[in-house]
Amino acid sequence: MVKIDNVGGALPQTGVPMADIVFEEPVEGGLTRLVAVFNTVDPGVVGPIRSARPIDAQIARMLGNSILMFSGASRYEIRPVKRDSKATLIADDWSTAPGTFERNPDKSGDHTLFGDATKAWAWAARHGTPDTAPNQPFAFSDARSASAVPTKDVSIRFEDTHVEWAWSASKSVWKRSQNGSPHEDTESGQLTADTVVILSVPISYDPQLHDVLGSPTPVVSLEGSGTVWLLRDGTKTRGTWSRANIDAPLVLTDATGAVLGVKPGHTWVEILPQPAKPE
């Protein structure tokens, strides 16, 4: 798991297209940050890398044994990650895993830190992280739901971040745009997904959690239940997501109660604060 910056100065990013799953999570000021999850492919260098948030613990527990690379975090932000994630934590500002981070001179400001996933995996293996298959965070299926309806594009808003997913029939993928422009990687061009899972989630605020400007950090709950929209194969299906506890997977069901399967391949999970809905 790698925490990746997702503001204008961070773009284009590196390594994101090789992630098996990308979680887009809300952060301060209506912006978003990515958690790129790599299992089947070693991306090598990936970034720019930014700091952890409490929600990362919930994502880590969903996956089981994992490594989380990030740039650091305030003591209040990192407390639940240390307490609840059960992940091997590799942070640049702790001087852990020497050599796994590097600075990119082509970037500026807060967007210069990149990580080497190859070195992170090797370091974690030497320090006792079990080399076991991850938990499945949701069910997979080659078949789409009988409730699916044809859809060409979907738009979602995280206050200050506008995301669009457009179906490409010729390539059988969803193409991603952000704030009116194609969202691109340094090596692979426009980012795509085989499945997009849009979760409507409740958020709250804790006065101790905020950025350096005082903007409050959204505290996201990925337990309980809510509305889900599943995009795959040029269709959209509305249903319900549920998760019994922090160790449980997400269960996605359609209006009839049938399990919604994620198409095997590259998946994006949009963690969308209520009451926003896809358009």
Burial of 77 (0-12, 13-18, 19+ CB in 10 A): buried
CATH of domain 149-273: 3.50.90.10
Query: Three-state SS for 183?
Result: coil
The answer to whether 222 and 59 have CB atoms below 8 angstroms apart is yes
pTM here is 0.94
List, in order, residues 6 or more apart from 6 with CB less than 8 Å away.
13, 24, 31, 32, 33, 34, 161, 178
The pLDDT assigned to 211 comes to 63
Residues with pLDDT less than 50, the chain: none
Instruction: Compute the CA torsion angle 39, 238, 247, 223 (nearest 10 deg).
Output: 130
Q: Identify the CATH class of 2-126.
A: alpha beta
Q: For 39-75, write each residue's pLDDT tens digit.
A: 999 999 999 999 998 899 999 999 988 899 999 877 7
Give me the residue label for tokens 């506890």.
Answer: 245
Place of tokens 């903007």: 215
DSSP state of 140: B
- Distance CA(59)–CA(52), nearest Å, equals 12
Residue 207, pLDDT score: 65
What pLDDT, in 10s, does the model give residues 123-158? 888 887 777 788 899 999 999 988 899 999 999 999
- Rounded CA-CA distance 148/125 in Å is 42
**Listed residue (205, 263, 273) closest to 31, CA to CA:** 273
Helix (H, G, I), strand (E, B), or coil: what is residue 99?
coil
pLDDT score recorded for residue 209 = 65
CA angle 186, 190, 195 (to 5 degrees): 125
CA distance 203 to 217: 10
55-63 and 75-84 helices, crossing angle to 10°:
20
Do the domains 149-273 and 2-126 match in fold? yes
Specify the 3-state DSSP secondary structure of 148: coil
Helix (H, G, I), strand (E, B) or coil at 53: coil
Q: Domain residues of the chain, as ranges? A: 2-126, 149-273
- The CA distances from residue 82 to 36, 73, 88, 148, 239, in Å, are 19, 11, 9, 40, 33
